[in-house]
Structure 1
Amino acid sequence: MDVERTQHMAKAALEGAWEAVGGGRGIVIGLWALLVGYVVYEQLWLQTMKMKSGRVEGPLGTLPLLGCVLAMVKDPFGFWETQRVFAMAEFPNEKVKAKASWNSILGKYMLFTTDTDVTRKVLTHNSPNDFMMVVHPSGKHILGDDNLAFMHGPEHKNLRKSFLALFTQAALAKYVTIQDRVVRKHLAQWLSEHEGEELEIRDLIRDMNTDTSQEVFVGPYMSKETKKEFSDAFRDMTDGFLALPICLPGFAVYKGKQGRFKVLGMLEKCAKESKEAMKAGKEPCCLMDFWSCKVLEEMKEAEDAGLPPPKHSTDEKMASVMMDFLFASQDASTASLTWVMALMADYPDMMKQVTEEQKAVRNDKNTPVSGELLPSLRYTRQVVLEVLRYRPPATMVPNTAERDIVLADGLVAPKGTLVMPSILASNMQGFTDPLKFDPDRMSPERKEDIKYQSNFLTFGVGAHMCVGRLYAINHLMTFLSVMSLSCRWSRRITQDSNKLMYLPTIYPGDCLVTMHEIQ
């Protein structure tokens, strides 16, 4: 069936439906005919898009209107694994592997790709003329149209330039001190309340990470009462990403959208207080303060040049960006921290090497982890980098093709295609024995993190590469450092332990641990 014939059949189906409505056969019959006509049109259109794509594998068909939504929500791990298998399939008689698989979601044509070159092409061509980041079908409802992930061009470039002041060595060292303090506080609480008791550690880690993010990003500008309200609203936003993409009152996406408004209101007050404190000459004590110093400097430069202040200098815009930082760090870091505990329990010999290094460098569990100490913790860093490679928290970065784009030889993303590049698949290519968890690959001798950096896409690539990657690595190193000398833990393996749970970042299917304090 060629493309023109397919389009003609689809058009005829819709015209027939409209005639049924106008033919006086009744509203119910007319609406039913419209629905049937749309379903026929949608299915023929999807097949047309598939033919335009070229070498793609996938299901024979999809559910009308919903597409893969139900399967994706019911069993995310099984769904994406099936798509991966389709994408790696070999075409009969051609001896050429597919580089993508197809499906549909809410009537939108989707391509899932496992090819690293294709993934890099999508991530490095972010513009209204190529690919635009989507994040999630409900992304703009929950995060807002002006979210950092959806920005591009000069405004986005200037904003990222302003962020440089947030991740200097001095700033990162300040954050490590805060991270160390918060980790110790929560670990003491865990051991006090749960020592010797088996529990799912994920939620405890989430609470610790929320506390860490709030302390590092907005520090003294959020009261204890506000933190609780903030956490609840933030949880509503996260839950919205796990629900059906329907933004109507009573649905989780709508609740997540309302949560965003609450979060922004609280962060605007933090931004205002931070700028006032920095104007008064106080020393920066959190990420918001470091940015306020930079913003005030930019505002002064603009004033001296007779120019308007930067767009990102308002309390509202600073709050919006800070929310983006919090959201990016919250689920991703929580997932990676959980993987640190799971994998170190699964590989006790590696945990032993971490502990020995900590004893050699820090000597005592009460010695704080600091920015100055981190460069000496080489093996700890290797473990953290391998955790991030082996289990990248964000496994896909959805983008929409703004025009027909050739992704590779024999593979095209027609205009309007939702392209899902797999970060996890790229991380499992190129490296020596990539399916094996092996921190030694990151050693100064093997340097696989440098040798195969084109495959190591956990933090992305291009204009939207994660600006907080050093912060994230330091956070994981600090957590593992404190835990290694203060606590020992074991993990019970179940039939779900080796599965991936999408929440929406990936977690172990379960992480049932038992902790004991080290005296």
Structure 2
Amino acid sequence: METMASDGTALSDVGSSVLVRDAGVWMKMGGVVLVGLLTLAVMEQLYFLRVRKTQSGKSLPGPVIAMPFIGSILNMTADPFGFWNAQRDYAPSGISWNSIVGYFSVLVTEPEAVRTILNNNGDDSFKMILHPNGHKLLGDANIAFINGPKHKALRKSFVSLFTRKALSVYLKIQQECIRDTLKKMIASNGAEFELRPFVRDLNLRTSQYVFVGKYIRDQEQFSKDYLELTLGFLCLPILFPGSQLYKSIQARKRVTVELAHCAKLSKARMEAGEEPECLMDFWAQRVLEEIDECDRSGAPYAHYASDDGMGHVMLDFLFASQDASTASLAWVTVLMADHPEILAKVREEQQAVRPNNEPLTFDLMEKLVYTRAVILETLRFRPPAVFVPQIAMADYQLTPDYVVPKGSMVFPSLIEVCHQDFPEPHTFLPERMMPERQEHITHRANFLPFGQGPHYCVGREYAVNHLIAFLSMLSTECDWTRRRTDKSDMYEYLPTIYPGDSLVRLHARQPASAA
């Protein structure tokens, strides 16, 4: 017998009517949400149509329509090489647009416009973001995100970090790390291997020992945390517990805590009058001098003077040097394999300057003119930091015909500028950097592997020396070949650019007398 409600209606009929009513409510709510999303999508497209218009009434080249809300982020993360090549092809020497996670984004390949962006950094122009995940991963205290007086004071305190004396100290450490890596590579006994992990580990170790010496308590754990941090630059900007971005942020916190501990130990050693053994020591000396000056004058300490402040800056140095130099180590190795005639000239110079394979000194480095030219050309030909992403802090007149709207992401392309105006720009030609031509000087406006303006790389000489030392030791101690594939002429974004593959066979080089 069916149960009845007090009004005589069957309860089953009541339940059915409730379900129907609830279904209707959900359908109405769903309809409202759908209409709202469609409205937002239309408004977004109308906004893009408006802001990509130039002052002459034309439209910036780019996609006809952008994927609502997410734009081209999936294409960019799944196939960066294909995405950026296609984006560049919209305007090989100009400005093009796209949408990335809803941001109106502008790729700039015109040299003068690129220089304008790099030279203007502030609340009324552009602010560096490095990457959509940059602030979350590196923290707002990162030097790349600081402008104005704070930024100038911080860079001023770096003067003693790259003197001849300091670079000589670093060079000894660099050679020790390179020698250990070459031993590991030679141990492959001629078996084919992918080069990138070797040079990544080399640069990770070199950066740690050069910048913070032996203060790190657990090198293995620190390296794992740093590599976990870098993975955050290769993932979607989605933050929740367990996501890659979340894991990377937690790793960054552990890294900065350890670096603050290193700063504390370094200050103690320098206060005790010991000799500097790493970059942290040279900087600790300067910071302690600044603290004394503030104590005498009553001025407040600089924002970076605390252990935590110094730790954050050391993270900046690690990040700035690690990926860029690692990429360049890979490029110079494969380029020498692809150009044996150039490698032969490097070896000829090495034999003339250090015939008995002597350890490199600062004086010997200055005599390696052709080897330096090879490194400079590698940096021009394949600048590791392809873009220096910015955010427009205000509407900005970038060209006579176009105003970048406030809030836009802007991608000035260093590689496109480095490939313009030079004679035979897409040919790898070290001779262009020799004293007879000095194209890195005569075309200095387009030689931008280290950036330009207020955020110009302070460690330029350190990075160049590291690459010269690596090529010098590799060329005299090893022979190697590269197996080319259909990916060899492509780039891989990690987040700086690497060869699409670097499959090499390497063995110890026999002395000339034994050949």
TM-score normalised by the shorter chain: which range applies?
A: over 0.9
Q: How far, CA to CA, are the matches of 1:326 and 1:371 in structure 2?
A: 23
Match of 1:104 among 99, 107, 119: 99
Q: Which residue in 2 is equivalent to 1:459?
A: 450
- Kept in 1, the 8 Å contact 2:54–2:60? The answer is no
Structure 2 residue aligned with 1:116: 111
- State the alpha-carbon separation in 2 of the partners of residues 57 and 310 from structure 1: 46
Work out whether 1:289 is the aligned partner of 2:289: no
Between the aligned partners of 1:44 and 1:61, the Cα distance in structure 2 is 10
Map 1:289-438 → 2, pairs under 5 A = 289-365=281-357, 367-438=358-429
The one-letter amino acid paired with 1:407 is L
- Contact 2:104–2:408 (CA under 8 A) maintained in structure 1: yes
Q: Out of 189, 198, 201, which is 2:192 matched to?
A: 198
2:362 match: secondary structure: coil
How many angstroms apart in 1 are the aligned matches of 2:183 and 2:129?
A: 40
Out of 154, 173, 186, the residue aligned to residue 149 of structure 2 is 154
Which residue is equivalent to 2:183?
A: 188
Amino acid at match of 2:316: D
Of 42, 51, 54 in structure 1, the residue corresponding to residue 53 of structure 2 is 51
Deviation at 1:426, TM superposition (A): 0.3
What does the per-residue CA deviation read over 1:76-105, in whole Å, with 9 as the maximum and x for residues that have no partner?
A: 1111111111013xxxxxxxxx71111000
- The alignment status of 1:473 with 2:468, answered yes or no, reads no
CA displacement 1:29-49 (0-9 Å, x = unmatched): 222222112111111111111
Distance 1:434 1:311 in 2: 43
Alpha-carbon distance between aligned partners in 2 of 1:127 and 1:443, rounded to the nearest angstrom: 37
Residue 125 of structure 2 contacts residue 393 of structure 2 at CA under 8 Å; is this kept in 1? yes
Q: Distance in 2 between matches of 1:331 and 1:466?
A: 14
> Contact 2:97/2:104 (CA < 8 Å) preserved in 1?
yes
Q: Greater CA deviation, 247-256 or 154-163?
A: 247-256
Q: Is the 8 A contact 2:387 2:412 kept in 1?
A: yes
* Alignment size in residue pairs: 484
What secondary structure, in the 3-state scheme, does the structure 2 residue paired with 1:432 have?
A: coil
Kindly indicate whether the alpha-carbon contact (under 8 Å) linking 2:95 and 2:110 is maintained by their aligned counterparts in 1. yes
User: Within 2, Cα distance between the matches of 1:434 and 1:411?
Assistant: 28
Match of 1:207 in 2: 201
Per the alignment, residue 485 of structure 1 pairs with: 476
CA deviation map 1:207-226 (0-9, x unaligned) = 11101011101112124xx1
Aligned equivalents of 1:371 and 1:178: distance in 2?
Answer: 13
Listed one character per residue, the Cα deviations across residues 371-424 of structure 1 (whole Å, up to 9, x for unaligned) are: 121000000000000000000000011111122211112222111111111000
* Aligned equivalent of 1:20: none
- Do 1:177 and 1:371's aligned partners in 2 also have CA atoms closer than 8 Å? no
Shift of 1:370: 1.7
Is the 1:115–1:426 contact (alpha carbons within 8 Å) kept by the matching residues of 2? yes
Conservation of the 8 A alpha-carbon contact between 1:166 and 1:290:
yes
Letter in 2 for 1:386: E
Distance 1:24 1:491 in 2: 62
Question: Which amino acid letter does the alignment assign opposite residue 366 of structure 2?
Answer: P
Distance 1:290 1:43 in 2: 53
Matches of 1:310 and 1:502 in 2, distance apart?
36
**Cα distance in 1 between the residues matched to 2:240 and 2:130:** 20
Query: Which residue of 1 is the match for residue 16 of structure 2?
Result: none
Q: What is the Cα deviation at residue 308 of structure 1?
A: 2.3
Contact 2:123 2:394 in 1 (8 A): no
- In structure 2, the partner of 1:234 is 226
Partner of 1:87: 91
Could you tell me how far apart the structure 2 residues matched to 1:323 and 1:56 are?
38
Q: Deviations over 1:15-65 (max 9, x none)?
A: xxxxxxxx9962222222221121111111111111257552011111111
- What percentage of aligned pairs have identical amino acids? 46
Q: What residue in structure 2 maps to residue 38 of structure 1?
A: 40
Question: Which residue identity does 1:69 align to in structure 2?
Answer: I
Q: Does 1:278 align with 2:270?
A: yes
For 2:70, give the aligned amino acid: L
The equivalent residue for 1:78 is 82
CA distance in structure 2 between the partners assigned to 1:500 and 1:391 by the alignment: 9
Q: Is the 8 A contact 1:99 1:411 kept in 2?
A: no
Give, in angstroms, the shift of residue 309 of structure 1: 2.2
Tell whether the 8 Å contact from 2:323 to 2:496 is kept in structure 1 after alignment.
yes
TM-score after normalising by structure 2: 0.92
- Who wins on radius of gyration, i.e. which is larger? 2
Q: Distance in 2 between matches of 1:452 and 1:38?
A: 47
* One-letter amino acid of the structure 2 residue matched with residue 276 of structure 1: A
Report Cα offsets for 1:167-209 as digits up to 9, x if no partner.
01100111111101110011112212x1201011001110111
**How far apart in 1 are the matches of 2:336 and 2:431?**
14
TM-score, with normalisation over the residues of structure 1? Answer: 0.92
SS in 1 for 2:482: strand
| Amino acid across the alignment from 2:69 | L
Name the SS for the 1:342 alignment partner: helix
Q: CA deviation at 1:246?
A: 1.1
What is the deviation of 1:256? Answer: 1.0
CA distance in 2, matches of 1:492, 1:355: 22
Secondary structure, in 3 states, of the residue corresponding to 1:356?
A: helix
Conservation of the 8 A alpha-carbon contact between 1:56 and 1:99:
no
Contact 1:248 1:254 in 2 (8 A): yes
The letter of the residue matching 1:43 is Q
3-state SS of 1:31 partner: helix
Corresponding residue to 1:62 among 62, 66, 74: 66
The answer to whether the 8 Å contact 1:175/1:286 transfers is yes
Q: Match of 2:87, as an amino acid? A: Q
SS at match of 2:158: helix
Q: What is residue 133 of structure 1 aligned with on the other side?
A: 128
Distance (whole Å) between structure 1 residues aligned to residue 224 and residue 40 of structure 2? 40
SS of the residue corresponding to residue 52 of structure 2 reads: helix
Q: Which letter maps to 1:210? A: L
Q: Which moved more, 1:23-32 or 1:395-404?
A: 23-32
User: How far is 1:264 from its partner?
Assistant: 0.5
Aligned-pair CA distance for 1:248: 1.6
Amino acid at match of 2:49: Q
Answer yes or no: is the 8 Å Cα contact 1:113–1:422 preserved in 2.
yes
Report SS of the residue matched to 2:287: helix
CA RMSD in angstroms comes to: 1.3
* Counterpart in the other structure of 2:165: 170
2:22 equivalent in structure 1:
none
| Long gaps (5+) in structure 2 | 1-24, 511-515
One-letter amino acid matched to 1:35 = L
Look up the match of 2:490: 499
